[in-house]
Each structure stands twice: as structure tokens, then as C-alpha cells.
């Protein structure tokens, strides 16, 4: 492959990657129990029964998600955009399994 073509290809890949990182990232959050409240970056966004959420990484490089239920131990975890993309690629929900 000619060098100029290789450079163009690399530039295209870089531009695509930039565009992807800015694109909204949607994925599902699943908690056990499913009626746990889900908070993303301190804001309550719904219950963890396969909750579809649009994650915003424009101002931060991690999101903090908490699952809260009055009868279970709350859990808080942080996720990068890449970690969420991996769950999405593996067709797995973002899991929260609360303990007693």
C-alpha cells in the first residue's frame, strides 16, 4: 500500500474514533433485585429492571453508578466509556448484584 494511502487510512480511523467518542453512548443497566433505584452521577434515573440509559462522557471520563434498595446493601461503581462499550459489544447489561 502506498505511504500516502496508509496515512489517509490512519487519519480516517482517527477521525472515526474521535466521532465515536463524542457520540452518545446508550446501554442497559440491570440490578438484582430489579426494583433497586439507579443513580448515575448523583441523579436518579430509574429502576434497575433493564434500564436503558444514555451516558454522557462529554465532561468526564468516568460515570459513577449507584444501585440503592432499602432491603439490600447499596453498591456504587465507576465505569469508563470503553468499559460500557465492552459490555455493549459482549451483549451484556451493566450488572449490579446487591448483597444483604
Partner 1 sequence: MKLTSSALRTSALSVIACMAMTACSGIPTKTFEFQSIDIREVNCPSMIVVNDDWDTAIAEKQVFDGTKMERFSLKIPFARPTVMVRAVPLPDGNVPKSRGDLRNNPSRYAPDQRELRMTDPTVQLFVFNLTR
Smaller CB distance to partner 1: residue 30 or 65?
65
Q: Which is nearer to partner 1, 2 or 24 (CB)?
A: 24
Query: Hey, how many other C-beta atoms are within 10 angstroms of the C-beta on 10?
Result: 10
Choose the stretch contacting partner 1; rule: CB under 8 A; options: 9-17, 27-35, 58-66, 84-92.
58-66
Instruction: Assign 51 to helix, strand or coil.
Output: strand
At 91, list the grid cell: 451483549
The terminus-to-terminus CA distance of the chain in angstroms comes to: 60
Helix, strand, or coil here: 90?
Answer: coil
The span from the CA of 70 to the CA of 6, in Å, is 57
Closest approach of partner 1 to the CB of residue 43, in Å: 7
**66-95: which residues touch partner 1 (CB under 8 A)?**
66, 68-70, 72-74, 76, 78
Judged by the rule CB under 8 A, the positions of this chain that interact with partner 1 are 37, 39, 41-44, 59-64, 66, 68-70, 72-74, 76, 78
Amino acid at each position: 500500500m502506498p505511504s500516502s494511502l496508509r496515512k489517509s487510512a490512519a487519519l480516517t480511523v482517527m477521525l472515526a474514533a474521535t466521532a465515536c467518542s463524542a457520540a452518545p453512548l446508550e446501554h442497559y443497566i440491570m440490578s438484582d433485585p430489579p426494583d433497586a433505584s439507579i443513580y448515575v452521577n448523583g441523579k436518579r434515573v430509574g429502576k434497575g429492571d433493564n434500564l436503558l440509559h444514555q451516558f454522557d462522557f462529554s465532561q468526564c471520563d468516568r460515570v459513577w453508578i449507584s444501585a440503592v434498595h432499602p432491603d439490600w446493601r447499596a453498591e456504587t461503581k465507576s465505569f469508563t466509556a470503553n468499559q460500557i462499550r465492552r459490555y455493549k459489544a459482549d451483549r451484556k447489561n451493566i450488572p449490579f448484584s446487591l448483597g444483604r
